[in-house]
Chains A and B, each alone.
Chain A
Amino acid sequence: MMFVVFANTYLSWLPAWSSQGMFALLAVCFVVWVCLRLFWGSSQVRGRLGLLLLRCCSLGIIAVILMGPTMIDEQPGETSRPSLLYVFDGSQSMQLGRQESRWAESLRFVREGEQAAGPDNTQNRQAFRFGHQLQPLNLAAPSEMSSGTPLSLLPVAAADSNSPILPPDASDSRLADALRQLLPQVNAGATAGVVLLSDGRVRDSDTVEQLAEIFGKASVPLHVVPTGEAAGTGDIAVVSLVVPSRVRKYTENELQIFLRSFGYTGQRTMVRLKKRNHLTNAESDAFPAMPVTLSGGAQSVSMTFRMDEQSEDFVVTVDPIDGELTDRNNRVEARVDINRTKVRVLYVQGQQVPTQSFLNALFGGSSSTGSAPQDVRSALQADEDVECTVLLSLGGRAPQLVNSDGNRSGTTGFPATRAELFAYDCVVFADVGPNVLQEEQVQWLSQWVEGRGGGLIVTGSDALDSQAWADSPLEALLPLTLTAARPSPVQTVNAVVTAPQHPVWRLRLEERPNAELLQQLPPLKVSVAGYVAKPTAEILATDNQSGDALLMAHRAGRGRVLVSAVGFGGTDLATLNSGWGPQPERVAAKFWRNMVYWATEGSSTGRRRLIASSDKRFYRPGDSLSVSAMAYDEGARRTQKYRVWAMFEPTSLDDMSLYSPLLWPDNVVRESGEVGPRIAWGEELPLTPDATDNGYQMKLMLSETGSTGDSGFRIEMTAYEGEESASAFNHGTQVDSTSLAVQILSDPFEQQNPLPNHELLHRVAAVSGGSVLESPEQLTDLLKNRTVTRGPPHRDLTPAWSRWWLWLCVLGCLTTEWIWRRVTGLA
Chain B
Amino acid sequence: MIERSQNSKVRNTLSVCRLLRQWTLISFMFAVQIRCVGQEGSDLAARTSVAAKDEVGKYDFVPEVPQSDVSENLTLEDGPVLRWSNPTAGSVYGDVFVWTHHGRPEVVGSFHQFHGTFQQTALELTSLSPYGIRGYCRGQQVWHPEKPGIELKPMTNSPAPAAVTSGRLVQMRQLARQFSVQLLDRRNGEVLRELRLMAQPVFRYSPTDPELVDGAVFAFVEGTDPEAVLLLEARRSDGDPGWMFGFARMNIHPLQATHNKTAVWAVDEVIPPYTRPNDTFTTLFLKAPKE
Contacts and interface: CB of A to CB of B under 8 A. Distances in A.
Contact of B167 (A423, A606, A681, A725): A681
A342 interface: yes
A607 B204 CA distance: 25
A734 B87 contact: no
Contact of A734 (B81, B166, B192): B81
Contact of A725 (B78, B95, B164): B78
A726 interface: yes
Contact of A634 (B29, B42, B173, B188): B42
B87 A606 contact: yes
A417 B38 CA distance: 9
A405 B285 CA distance: 28
Contacts of B198: 734, 736-737
B41 A633 contact: yes
A595 to B, nearest CB: 20
B188 A389 contact: yes
Given A389-B188, A734-B82, A736-B224, A607 B87 contact: yes
A33 B4 CA distance: 174
B5 to A, nearest CB: 18
Contacts of A384: 192
Interface stretch (A358-366, A788-796, A815-823): A358-366
Contacts, number: 160
Residue among A340, A634, A637 with max Cβ neighbours from chain B (10 Å): A634
Given A362-B17, A416-B91, A733-B81, A682 B33 contact: no
Interface in A270-306: none
Nearest to A652: B174
B14 interface: yes
B44 interface: yes
A404 to B, nearest CB: 3
B14 A358 contact: yes
A150 B139 CA distance: 75
Contacts of B154: none
A683 B169 CA distance: 11
Interface in B220-279: 222-224
A566 B204 CA distance: 56
B83 interface: yes
A708 to B, nearest CB: 14
B102 interface: no
B26 interface: yes
B37 to A, nearest CB: 6
Given A607-B223, A716-B200, A417 B191 contact: no
B91 A420 contact: yes
Contacts of A637: 40, 42
B215 to A, nearest CB: 11
Given A364-B21, A650-B170, A733 B82 contact: yes
A440 B37 contact: yes
B94 to A, nearest CB: 11
A397 B36 contact: no
A746 B290 CA distance: 61
B184 to A, nearest CB: 12
Interface in B162-210: 164-167, 169-171, 173-175, 188-189, 191-194, 196, 198-202, 204-205
A716 B201 CA distance: 11
A419 interface: yes
A613 to B, nearest CB: 15
Given A361-B17, A423-B223, A653-B171, A733 B83 contact: yes
A440 B39 CA distance: 13
Nearest to A421: B87
B83 A417 contact: no
B204 A729 contact: yes
Contacts of B166: 680-683
Interface in A602-653: 606-609, 633-637, 639, 647, 649-650, 653
A112 interface: no
Contacts of B224: 607-609, 735-736
B63 interface: no
A364 B169 contact: no
Contact of B117 (A411, A607, A635, A716): A411
A411 B21 CA distance: 13
Nearest to A633: B42
Contacts of A574: none
B18 A361 contact: yes
Interface in B68-126: 77-83, 85-88, 90-91, 93, 95, 116-117
A416 B36 contact: yes
Given A340-B194, A653-B171, A403 B81 contact: no
Interface residues of A, number: 65
Contacts of B25: 364, 410
A340 B191 CA distance: 13
Interface string A488-501: 00000000000000
A727 interface: yes
Contacts of A607: 86-88, 222-224
B220 to A, nearest CB: 12
Nearest to B219: A734
B103 to A, nearest CB: 10
B17 A422 contact: no
Contacts of A387: 191, 193
Given A653-B171, A730-B204, A342 B14 contact: no
A681 B189 CA distance: 45
Contacts of B171: 653
Contacts of B82: 733-735
Contact of A362 (B18, B26, B175): B18
Contacts of B204: 727, 729-730
A412 interface: yes
Residue among B81, B85, B171 with max Cβ neighbours from chain A (10 Å): B85
B87 A423 contact: yes
A616 to B, nearest CB: 21
Contacts of A633: 41-42, 45
Given A403-B188, A410-B25, A726 B200 contact: no
A342 B37 contact: no
Contacts of B194: 340-342
A342 B193 contact: yes
A340 B258 CA distance: 14
B289 interface: no
A98 interface: no
A634 B192 CA distance: 25
B202 A734 contact: yes
B117 A682 contact: no
Contacts of B18: 361-362
Given A384-B192, A633-B42, A734 B116 contact: no
Nearest to A400: B29
B67 to A, nearest CB: 30
A682 B167 contact: yes
B59 to A, nearest CB: 19
A607 B195 CA distance: 12
A398 interface: yes
Contacts of B21: 364
Nearest to B166: A682
A362 B173 CA distance: 58
B23 to A, nearest CB: 11
A634 B117 contact: no
B87 A417 contact: yes
A681 B170 contact: yes
Interface in A471-485: none
A542 to B, nearest CB: 37
Contacts of B174: 649, 653
A511 interface: no
Closest 10 CB pairs of A and B: A682-B166, A404-B189, A635-B41, A634-B41, A729-B204, A423-B87, A737-B200, A718-B200, A340-B194, A634-B45
Given A404-B189, A416-B37, 6 more contacts: A340-B194, A384-B192, A417-B87, A423-B223, A607-B88, A649-B170
7 contacts: A358-B14, A362-B17, A387-B193, A404-B188, A682-B166, A733-B79, A736-B198
